[in-house]
Chain A
């Protein structure tokens, strides 16, 4: 079945350290991939998306993600984490089912940033 997996439920990093959040997808064709961020008690905001072309995608807030077809991955990275990056991060893939397209989310990775 087509799906998206985020293996890490919770990650803790120190402020200023680098960050990588993992996302793996299961999809036959070239996927449409997204990363969203959710601050506590709020809605989601799009960080970046990949449709085609350059496999390294730049997003807002200094985030980037790299699409690796051979590994079925779309990992999110940031070279230096700020305390304000503490949030929950969701990877998502567009799923085609029954002639319609829907956005399917992973279960999320909660990021804690230590001072």
Chain B
């Protein structure tokens, strides 16, 4: 099975500061990669997904961006954080939407 690593585990950032969250995957090649945000009582919101290196699809207009510089590396970024960016960010990997997605442990982001 796949193993998903995410760091940092927790992050507290001031409004207007930049952001970089990293996700790496072990145990598979050429996976689909996903970034989700989870807010209390609102389930998981898909932010970005990638089917290959350099291929990024955005689901929700926002001030976040994603990049996939290597096959098993997925990065979530922002140039200037907003208060509304606070949440629990999850990276996931899967061979296709029809297959099981493996989730990382998540990053708790608090924007003050």
A interface residues (Cβ-Cβ under 8 A, vs B): 9, 32, 34, 36, 41-46, 49, 51, 90, 94, 100-108
Contacts and interface: CB of A to CB of B under 8 A. Distances in A.
B90 A94 contact: no
Main secondary structure of the interface of A (DSSP, over half): strand
A94 B97 contact: yes
Which of A42, A103, A105, A107 is the most central at the interface, judged by chain B CB atoms within 10 Å of its CB?
A: A103
Contacts of B46: 102-104
Main secondary structure of the interface of B (DSSP, over half): loop
A107 B49 contact: no
Contacts, number: 52
Given A94-B97, A94-B98, A101-B96, A42 B106 contact: yes
Interface in B91-112: 92, 96-98, 100-101, 103-106, 108
Contact of A108 (B43, B90, B96, B105): B43
Contacts of A51: 98
B93 to A, nearest CB: 11
A100 B52 CA distance: 14
Interface of B: 4, 34, 41-44, 46, 49, 57, 59, 90, 92, 96-98, 100-101, 103-106, 108
B69 to A, nearest CB: 22
B57 A103 contact: no
A42 B108 CA distance: 10
Q: Which 3 A-B pairs have the closest CB atoms?
A: A43-B103, A101-B97, A107-B43
A44 B97 contact: no
Contacts of A108: 41, 43
Nearest to B96: A101
